[in-house]
Amino acid sequence: MARLFLLLLLACAALSAQADEHTVVVKAAAPQKGCVEVEVNGQRAQSMSCLNEKLLPNSNTLNRQPPALSGAEAIMQRPSNQLGLYNRAALEHRMGNAFGKSVTPQRPSPPPPASPLLPPR
């Protein structure tokens, strides 16, 4: 019985060694990420999450530092109110409630004329 078991064990070892010599392993190529297009009632619709992933920038472009700005470019990046240019918010503040109604800015109403009959305060 032990001889039969030993013979069977050697035969299995020989078959596995022979199988390793003649076995060709074919690995499938990694599937490319593609968007699934579905047609429902004659209308085509694509997966929005897949399209969003395709539109994301690469990781190497996210880590890259922006190029240094020259003096003129740095000035152009400043807000318009620092450059003395038109600024809608500042204009609305200056005009007050007359903005869009009149060309003259809002001013307080003039005081009524003093009566010549009353003594001055």
Low-confidence ranges of the chain (pLDDT < 50): none
Q: Cα(first)–Cα(last) distance of the chain, in Å?
A: 133
Nearest to 75 by CA among 65, 85, 66: 85
pLDDT for position 58: 75
Point out which residues pair with 45 in neighbouring strands.
Answer: 38
Q: What is the DSSP letter of 44?
A: E
Assigned domain for 62 exists: no
pLDDT for position 6: 67
Assigned domain for 6 exists: no
| CA 51 – CA 49 distance, rounded (Å) | 5
Assigned domain for 84 exists: yes
Assigned domain for 29 exists: no
Assigned domain for 49 exists: no
Residue-number span of the structural domain to which 97 is assigned: 78-102
pLDDT for position 55: 82
- Paired tokens of 86: 């038109």
pTM of the entire predicted model: 0.29
Assigned domain for 97 exists: yes
Q: Are 37 and 46 in contact (CB under 8 A)?
A: yes
| CA 6 – CA 3 distance, rounded (Å) | 5
Point out which residues pair with 57 in neighbouring strands.
Answer: none
In this predicted model, what pLDDT tens digit does every residue of 93-102 receive, in sequence order? 888 888 888 8
Assigned domain for 107 exists: no
Number of domains observed in the structure of the chain: 1
Assigned domain for 88 exists: yes
